[in-house]
Amino acid sequence: MIKYISGIVLLCFVGYTELFAQVDSSKFDLKEVEVKENRMQIPFLKVSQNITLITRANIQATPARSLQELLAFTPGIDVRQRGISGVQADIGIRGGSFEQTLLLVNGIKLSDPQTGHHMMNIPVPLQAIERIDVLKGPGSRIFGQNAYAGAINIITALPEKKSIVVQGFGGDFGMLGGNVYAALPIGKYKQVVSASHDASKGYWHNSDFKVSNMYYESGFNLNKKNQIRSMVGYTLRDFGANGFYSNRFPDQWEATKTLLTSISHTYANKNLYIQTRAYWRKNDDEFRLKRNEPAFYTNIHKTEVLAAEINAAYTSKLGKTGFGIENRKELISSTNLGDRDRMLSGVVIEHRIEFLKNAVLRAGMYSNYYSEYGWKHFPGAELGYQLSTQSRVYANFGKSYRIPTYTELYYEDFSNSSNSELKPEESVSYEAGYKYNGKKISGEVVVFNRNSSNMIDYFRPASDSVVNPNKWSPSNIGSVTFLGIETAINYAINLGSNKVSLKNIGLSYNYIDASVDKEASIESRYALSALKHQLIGRVQLNFFKHADLQVNTRCIERMALSPYFLLDAKLNLKLPYKAGCFMEVSNITNTNYTEAGFLQMPGRWFKIGLQIAIL
C-alpha cells in the first residue's frame, strides 16, 4: 500500500495551479468574525467566554475525513471514537460526558432522547461547513439543558457563486469513498446539494462499516429584511460494533438512519432581529448482539423530536436585549425501552450592556419546563474588559441541568441494567480568562471550576475475569468537582522562502482535576475516565507554493487510564484544472490505544484522494 501511495503522490506533485478552495489559515482575520448564537451575534474579540473557532481553512488543512475526527484536534474537546471515519464517537467537553455536550447545526439542537451516542449522526458534509463555534463551559443559558458542559455549533454556508466539486479517496482496511458537493444559486435563491458514501472492510474482526449521506440546503432573500432558509439531510450507517459497548459479544452489529429537516424565517432590521424556526429529527436504531442471528437479541428504537422556536434581540440605548421561547416534543418507540414521550418548553431573557468604554456585562436566565421534572432555571452572567485592542480579560458563571436519557432510565440487556429512579444532573460553573489576538500571535489562558451534583455514570463490581460478568448499572454520583486550566497559543510565523516556508504553529495544553470518591472494587464506564491531560500541537508548512503539509500531535491521558501519543499528517497538493490531491497518514507512530468502550483503535493507516472542481 505504501508503494502505491508514494507513486501517486509523486505523480501529483508535478502539477501546479490554484489549490482547490485552499485558504491561508495564517491570514484569518478575527476582527471580522461574529460568534453566532440563537439571539445575539457578538464580535469574537468581545466574547467573554472560552470559544474556539474552527475555520474553513482549518477544516481543509486538518488530517480528518469526518466531523468527529476534526473535533479530535480541538483543544479542550475529548473525542472518543469507535472505529474510523466518524462511524460513531462520543464528544465530551471539560471532563463532561457525551450526554453533557450539545451539538447544533445553525442553532438547531441535535440531541437524541434515546442516547447521546447518536448525537453525531449528522449528514452535513465538511464541504458545506463555513465555521464551527465551540463553546467550552456552561451553555444552558444560551442553548438550553443539554449544553451542560459545552456546545458545538456547526455553521453552514450558502455560496453566491456556482461550483461543483467531486472527490474520491481510498486507503488501508479496504477503505473507499467519494462525495459530490454542488453550490447552484439561481438569482436570489441559493442552494447546495451533497451526496457521499464511505465504506471499509474493517481493521479487526467485525469492524467494517458503510456510511451514506445526502444533504440539501437552500436560502432565499425575500427582501433586505426577510430571509427564508430550509434544510434536509439523511444519513445511513451500517457497522460492525465489536467492542463498542461490551466485550462479551464480539459480533455486535448496529444500523442507524437519521433524518433532519428544518425551516426558518429571519427578520433583521437596524434595531430588531427575529428568527422563527421549526425542525424535525427522526432516528431509527437497530442493534444486535449477534450480527447474523437477529433472533438471539435485537433492539429496535425509533425516536422523533419535533420543535419550534422564536428567538429575538432588540438594540436600544440601554444595550441589547435577547428573548426567546421554545417548545420541544420527544418521542420514542422501542422494543426495549417501551413507548414514551415527554414535553420540554423554555423561556429565555438576557441583556448585554457596554459601559466604561471598555467593559461589557451580559446576564440572563433560561427557564425550562419538563413534563417529568417541572420548572428548572439556568441563570448566568459574563463580565469582560478590553485592556487594549488586542487583549481582554473576562469572568463568567452559569448553572447547568441535564435530564436522563431513556437509555439511562430504562435500558436492559445481558450487560446492562436500568435505573428509573435517576435524578437529573445539576452543576454550577465559574470561569476566568485572558485572551490575546495580535496580527500574528493569538493565545488564551482560562481557569474554570465546575461543581456537579447527581452526576450520572454506569458502575459495576470489578472482576478478575478477562470478560467481566457483572452488569453495568447507572446511578447518581453525590458530588464531583472539576477544576481545570486551558492554555492555547497560535503563531502565524510565515518564516522561510518561496521554496519552503513555515506558515503556522500552534500549541495547547489542558489539565483537569476531578475530585471523585470511588471504591477500588467498582469500575466506572464514563465519568471516572474523564480527560485529565491533553497536549495538542500543530505545524503547517508550504512547499514551492504548490503543497501544504500539516502535522498534528496529540498527547492524551484520562483518569485511571494509560496515556498515549498520536501523530497525524495531511499533505495537500495543487494540480492543473482546478484539481487537487491529498494524502493523510493517521497514527504515524503506530500507537496501541483505546478511546471508547472496548474497541482497539487501528495502528498506522493511510488515505489518499483526488478532488476536482468542475465549476
CA distance 309 to 347: 10
Coil, strand or helix at 22: coil
How large is the average pLDDT for residues 572-596? 91
How large is the average pLDDT for residues 409-422? 92
Q: Where are the beta strands (DSSP E) in 101-203?
A: 101-105, 108-109, 129-136, 150-156, 163-171, 175-183, 189-200
Q: Which ranges of 347-389 does DSSP label H, i.e. alpha helix?
A: none
N-to-C CA span, the chain: 32
On the question of pLDDT at 275 being above 60, the answer is: yes
State pLDDT tens for residues 65-91: 888 889 999 988 999 888 888 788 899
How large is the average pLDDT for residues 212-236? 96
Residue 518 banded pLDDT, cuts 50, 70, 90:
low
- Mean pLDDT lowest for which of 81-90, 167-176, 359-368? 81-90
How large is the average pLDDT for residues 209-234? 96
- Residue 169: the pLDDT is 95
Buried b (16+ CB within 10 A) or exposed e, 464-501: eeeebeebbbbebbeebebbbebbbebbbbeeeeeeeb
CA distance 148 to 93: 9
Read off the C-alpha cell for 406.
Answer: 431513556
Which one-letter amino acid corresponds to residue 577? Y
What backbone torsions phi and psi does residue 31 show, to the nearest 5 degrees?
-65, -25
CA distance 359 to 395: 12
CA distance 470 to 417: 10
Is 141 exposed, middle or buried, given 0-12, 13-18 or 19+ CB atoms closer than 10 A?
Answer: buried
Q: What is the pTM of this model?
A: 0.91
On the question of pLDDT at 207 being above 70, the answer is: yes
Read off the C-alpha cell for 168.
Answer: 474520491
- Closest CA relative to residue 73, chosen from 36, 25, 8: 25
How much of the chain is helix, strand and coil, in % rounded to 5?
10, 60, 35
On the question of pLDDT at 2 being above 80, the answer is: no
State pLDDT tens for residues 555-581: 999 887 789 999 999 999 988 888 999
Q: List, in sequence order, every residue forming a beta bridge with 611; answer none if it has no partner.
A: 167, 580
- Residue 594: the pLDDT is 87
Read off the C-alpha cell for 592.
Answer: 496501541
State pLDDT tens for residues 544-554: 888 999 999 99
| Residues 6+ positions from 562 with CB-CB distance below 8 Å | none
- Residue 551: the pLDDT is 96
Q: What percent of the chain has pLDDT over 70?
A: 93
User: By the 8 A CB rule, do 609 and 126 touch?
Assistant: no
CA distance 346 to 336: 30
User: What is the overall mean pLDDT for the chain?
Assistant: 89
| Residues 6+ positions from 412 with CB-CB distance below 8 Å | 336, 418
Please state the separation of Cα 435 from the chain's center in Å. Answer: 23
What backbone torsions phi and psi does residue 82 show, to the nearest 5 degrees?
-110, 100
- Residue 521: the pLDDT is 57
State pLDDT tens for residues 174-192: 999 999 999 999 999 999 9
- Residue 18: the pLDDT is 32
| Tally of residues, the chain | 615
The more confidently predicted of residues 562 and 361 is 361
> What counts of helices (H) and strands (E) characterise the chain?
5, 33
The more confidently predicted of residues 123 and 360 is 360
- Residue 451: the pLDDT is 93
- Residue 509: the pLDDT is 97
Coil, strand or helix at 116: helix
- Residue 13: the pLDDT is 35
User: By the 8 A CB rule, do 219 and 187 touch?
Assistant: no
- Residue 24: the pLDDT is 44
State pLDDT tens for residues 6-60: 343 333 333 333 333 333 444 455 666 788 788 888 888 889 999 999 998 889 8
How large is the average pLDDT for residues 375-403? 95
∠ at Cα 53 (503, 265), nearest 5°? 135
Look at the block and give the residue holding cell 491529498.
Answer: 582
Residue 612 banded pLDDT, cuts 50, 70, 90:
very high
- Residue 25: the pLDDT is 44
CA distance 263 to 253: 34
- Residue 255: the pLDDT is 97
In the chain, what are the domains? 2-613 (2.40.170.20)
Residue 479 banded pLDDT, cuts 50, 70, 90:
confident
How large is the average pLDDT for residues 440-456? 94
- Residue 40: the pLDDT is 84
Buried b (16+ CB within 10 A) or exposed e, 302-336: bbbbebebebbbbeeeeebbbbbebebbbebebeb
- Residue 598: the pLDDT is 82
